[in-house]
Structure 1
Amino acid sequence: MNFEKGALSNIATVISGYAFKSSWFGEGENKVIRISDIKDNLVDPIKAVHFDADKHKVAEQFIIQESDILIALSGATVGKFGVADKRAVGMYLNQRVAIIRGHNATNSAYIKYVISGQFMDNLLLLAGGAAQPNLSTKDLANMQIPIPTLDEQKCIATILDKASSICRKRKQTIALTDHLLRSLFLDMFGDPVANPKGWKVDKLNDLSTKISSGSTPKGGSKAYVEKGIPFLRSQNVWRNRVDLDDVVYLDEATHEKMEKTSLKNKDLLITKTGRINTENSSLGRAAMFAGEDDTANINGHVYLIRLKPEVINEFVLYIMTTIEYRDYIRSVCVGGIDKRQINKGHLEEFPIIAPPVELQQQFLEKLKAIEKQKIKLTKQLELANNMFAALTQQAFSGELTKQDKVA
Structure 2
Amino acid sequence: MSWPRKNLGDIVDFLSGFAWKAANFSDDRSGVPIIRIQNVDSVRESDFVYWVDEYDSRFIVKEGDLLLTLSGSFRAEFWTGPDALLNQRIVKITPKSDIDRNWLMHSLRGALAQIEAMGRHALVNNVALSDLRQMQLSVPPLEEQKRIAAILDQADDIRHKRQHAIDRLNQLGQAIFHDMFGDLDANNHNFPIVALDKLIKVQGGYAFKSDLFGEDGDPVIRISNIDGESVDLEKSVKIAPENVGKGRSFTISEGDLLIAMSGATTGKTGTVPKFSGTAYLNQRVGKYIILDNKNISANFLVNLVKSEFYQKRILDQAWGAAQPNVSSNQLVSFAIPLPPICIQNRFSECMNGLSDVKSANYAELERSTSLFASLQHRAFTGQL
TM-score with structure 1 setting the length: 0.70
Q: Does the Cα contact within 8 Å between 1:193 and 1:351 map onto a contact in 2?
A: no
SS at match of 2:373: helix
Whole-Å separation in 2 of the counterparts to 1:46 and 1:213: 26
Q: 1:104 to 1:80 in 2, by over 3 A?
A: same
- Structure 2, unpaired ranges of 5+: none
Counterpart of 1:203 (choices 169, 189, 195) is 195
What number of residue pairs does the alignment pair up?
Answer: 368
CA deviations on 1:290-338 (whole Å, 9 max, x unpaired) are: 89xxx99978864552343533332233212324312322334568975
Any idea what the Cα deviations from partners look like across 1:189-223, whole Å, max 9, x if unmatched?
12335534432122234446xx5747879xxx99x
2:316 matches 1:321 = no
- Describe the shift of the 1:351–1:14 C-alpha distance in structure 2 as closer, same or farther (beyond 3 A): same
- Amino acid aligned to 2:65: D
Alignment of 1:249-268 (within 5 A): none
Is residue 175 from structure 1 mapped to residue 167 from structure 2 by the alignment? yes
Indicate yes or no: 2:75 matched with 1:80.
yes
Name the CA distance, whole Å, in 1 between partners of 2:360 and 2:344: 25
* Alignment-derived partner of residue 3 in structure 1: 3
In the superposition, relative to structure 1, how do residues 399 and 104 fare at CA in structure 2: closer, same or farther (>3 Å)? same
Alignment of 1:252-401 (within 5 A): 269-271=257-259, 274-275=261-262, 277-278=263-264, 280-281=265-266, 285=269, 287=271, 302-303=286-287, 305-311=289-295, 312-332=297-317, 340-344=325-329, 346=330, 349-400=333-384
Aligned match of 2:133: 141
Q: Secondary structure at the match of 2:67?
A: strand
- Larger mean CA deviation between 372-381 and 324-333 belongs to 324-333
User: How far apart are the structure 1 equivalents of 2:103 and 2:136?
Assistant: 14
What displacement does 1:399 show? 0.3
Identical pairs, percent: 23
C-alpha contact (below 8 Å) 1:192/1:319 kept by paired residues: no
What is aligned with 2:182?
A: 190
Residues in 2 aligned to 1:174 and 1:19: alpha-carbon distance in whole angstroms = 37
**Partner SS, residue 325 of structure 2:** strand
Bigger drift between 38-47 and 310-319 goes to 38-47
Q: CA deviation at 1:175?
A: 0.6
Which secondary structure does the structure 2 equivalent of 1:70 belong to?
strand
Q: Report the Cα offset of residue 390 of structure 1.
A: 1.0
Q: 3-state DSSP class of the match of 1:116?
A: helix
Confirm whether residue 69 of structure 1 aligns to residue 56 of structure 2. Answer: no
Distance (whole Å) between structure 1 residues aligned to residue 325 and residue 36 of structure 2: 23
Q: Could you tell me how far 1:148 is from its partner in structure 2?
A: 0.7
Structure 1 residue 375, shift from structure 2 partner? 0.9
Aligned residues of 1:285 and 1:321 also touching (Cα < 8 A): yes
- Write the letter of the residue equivalent to 1:6: K
- 2:193 alignment partner AA: V
The CA distance in 1 between the partners of 2:253 and 2:7, in whole Å, is 55
Q: Distance in 2 between matches of 1:317 and 1:45?
A: 22
TM-aligned CA distance change 1:212 to 1:232, over 3 Å: farther
Equivalent runs, 1:208-223 vs 2, <5 Å: 211=201, 213=203
The residue type equivalent to 1:383 in the other structure is: R
* Offset at residue 264 of structure 1 (A): 9.5
Give the unaligned 5+ runs of structure 1. 401-407
- Structure 2 partner of 1:102: 95
The corresponding residue for 1:12 is 12
Aligned 8 A contact 2:202 2:331 in 1: no
CA apart distance, 1:112 = 0.5
Task: Name 2:156's counterpart in structure 1.
Answer: 164
For the pair shown, which has the larger CA radius of gyration, 1 or 2? 1
2:147 and 2:102 map into 1 onto residues whose CA distance is 10
**Normalising by the residue count of structure 2, what TM-score does the alignment of the two structures yield?**
0.73
- Cα gap change, 1:324 to 1:49, in 2 (>3 Å): same
Partner of 2:104: 111
Q: Which residue pairs with 2:36 in the alignment?
A: 35
What do residues 30-81 of structure 1 show as CA deviations (whole Å, max 9, x unaligned)?
Answer: 95653358432889899584669xxx6846x5555664312234x434x433
Which digits, 9 at most, give the CA deviation of each residue in 1:324-363, with x for residues without a partner?
Answer: 312322334568975734344x455443422244432322
Distance in 1 between the 2:166 and 2:373 partners? 20
Going from structure 1 to structure 2, the CA distance change for 1:8 and 1:42 (only over 3 Å counts) comes to farther
Letter in 1 for 2:126: P
CA distance in structure 1 between the aligned counterparts of 2:204 and 2:47, rounded to whole angstroms: 40
Contact 1:214 1:304 in 2 (8 A): no
Q: How far does residue 180 in structure 1 lie from its aligned partner after superposition?
A: 1.4
Instruction: Work out which of the residue numbers 106, 116, 121 in structure 1 matches 2:113.
Output: 121
Alignment CA distance shift 1:102-1:38 (3 Å): farther
Quick one: distance in 2 between partners of 1:95 and 1:171? 28
- Aligned-residue offset at 1:142: 3.0
